[in-house]
Amino acid sequence: MRRIVAALSIALACALHAGCGSSRATFTADDAGAEAGPAGSLGSLGDAAASAPPDCSAASTNLAGCPCPARGATQPCYSGAVGTRGVGACKDGTQTCTGTGEFSSWGNCVGDVTPTPQACTGTVDGNCNAKVGCDDPTCAKDPVCDTGCTAGQTRACYDGAAGTENRGACKDGLQTCVAGKWSATCTGQVVPVAEDCCGAIDSNCNGLIGCSDLFACITAACCQNACAPAGLDPGCVCPTGSGDSAKCPNGDHSVTKGVGFPPFQECCPCTASTCNDLGCCGETVCAGKAACAGTHCKPLAAACGGMVNADCDEFPEDCDEPCCKCTTCPP
C-alpha cells in the first residue's frame, strides 16, 4: 500500500474526466490492500467514507489523502453531497497538510457540517436543500405536517436519505390530498438503489455514475481493466509482467489508463511533454528539463535485457533496483 492514496486518486480522476495521462504515481494489484463490499452495494455513509479512495480532481471539495504542498498548510474543505455546500446549515471545515516530502497529504476535513435529516418542527435547513419545516418534501409524511388540505391538492414528497434528493436518478414524488387528508404514498418518487455499475445512470444518487463510482463498483466485473492490444494508444505496448515486476521497453514509460479499477498500465514512448514522469528523465528528449531536476540517472544495466521497471518512483525503495534508470535517490 505504498502509494495506494496517489493511485486511487488517479483512478477516480480518470473515471470522472475520461482518461489519464502519465503520472509518477502508478497502481499495481500488489499495492491494493483494502477489502470491498459487494459490487453495487450502497453501504452506509460512514462505510463509504472510511473505504472510499480520495478524489484529487480539480472539482473535489475534500482532498483528504491527496498530495499537499507543505506540512502545516490549511485549506477549506467540504465532505457533503454535491450541491449542498453553503446551503442551509451546511458549511465548510478545514483540513491540514500532514507528513513530509512526497508523502505529504491533506488530512481529514474537520469541522464541516454536512446534511442531516430535516427536523420538521424546526426552522433550520438541516438537510441543506434550501427548504425548512413542512415546506421540505422530506417532511411530507411527518405527522406534524399532516395538516388540513383541499381535495386534489398536491405537494412534493421524498423518502430518500438526506443529500440524495433530486440528485442522479433520485427525484421528488407527489402527495395528493384526499378527503381533506394527505395520502400516505409518495407517487412517482425515485429513491436510491444499488448502483448499476455497468450502466450510465447514477442509481444510488451519490453523484458518480457506473464504474466512476469506485465506492460501489470497485469489484464489479464490468469495471475491471487489463491491458489489451485493442485498447492501446498509438505507439504503446502492454508491459511484461505485473505488479512491482512489470517492465516496459527502454525508452518507454508507464501510463495509467482506464475508467475501471484497478486502472491498467501501458508502455508509451517518452516525449518532451512527458518529462514530468521520472521514467522519462533518463531519455535524451528530457535532458536538462526542469521537470527532471533532482533526479539521478544511470545507464540501463545489461542484465535488464533492454527493459526498464514500469514503477521507479518509490524512494528509497527503488534506490537499489538495477532496472530503474532514474530515481530521486542520492548519487
Instruction: Note whether 231 and 306 are same-domain residues.
Output: yes
In a domain, 46, yes or no: no
Instruction: Note whether 231 and 188 are same-domain residues.
Output: no
Q: Give the pLDDT of residue 32.
A: 34
Which of 192, 216, 236 delimits the end of a domain? 192
Which of 192, 209, 238 delimits the end of a domain? 192
Instruction: Note whether 232 and 188 are same-domain residues.
Output: no
For residues 98 and 100, what is the distance between their CA atoms, to the nearest angstrom?
A: 7
Residue 178 cell numbers, joined: 384526499
Q: Give the pLDDT of residue 268.
A: 95
Instruction: Note whether 188 and 247 are same-domain residues.
Output: no
Low-confidence spans in the chain with pLDDT less than 50: 1-51
Q: In percent, how much of the chain has pLDDT > 90?
A: 49
In a domain, 52, yes or no: no
**Residue 122 class from Cβ within 10 Å (0-12 exposed, 13-18 middle, 19+ buried)?**
exposed
Q: Give the pLDDT of residue 46.
A: 39
Residue 192 cell numbers, joined: 436510491
0.75 surpassed by pTM: no
Q: Give the pLDDT of residue 152.
A: 93
In a domain, 209, yes or no: no
From the CB of residue 215, how many other CB atoms can be counted at a distance below 10 Å? 22
For residues 101 and 107, what is the distance between their CA atoms, to the nearest angstrom?
A: 15
Residue 233, CB-side half-sphere exposure with 13 Å CA sphere: 17
For residues 308 and 322, what is the distance between their CA atoms, to the nearest angstrom?
A: 9
Residue 209 cell numbers, joined: 455514475
In a domain, 54, yes or no: no
From the CB of residue 4, how many other CB atoms can be counted at a distance below 10 Å? 17
Q: Give the pLDDT of residue 262.
A: 62
* pLDDT tens per residue, range 101-144: 667 899 999 999 999 999 999 999 999 999 999 999 999 999 99
Instruction: Note whether 263 and 184 are same-domain residues.
Output: no
Q: What's the domain count of the chain?
A: 2
Instruction: Note whether 237 and 318 are same-domain residues.
Output: yes
In a domain, 159, yes or no: yes
* Cβ contacts of 281 within 8 Å, gap of 6 or more: 275, 289, 291, 292, 295, 297, 325, 326
Residue 245 belongs to domain spanning: 227-327
In a domain, 32, yes or no: no
Instruction: Note whether 232 and 315 are same-domain residues.
Output: yes
Instruction: Note whether 240 and 318 are same-domain residues.
Output: yes
Beta strand segments in the chain, E: 74-77, 93-98, 105-106, 154-157, 173-178, 181-182, 247-249, 252-257, 264-269, 296-297, 307-309, 326-327
In a domain, 184, yes or no: yes
Instruction: Note whether 241 and 308 are same-domain residues.
Output: yes
Q: Which residues are bridge partners to 306 per DSSP? A: none
In a domain, 125, yes or no: yes
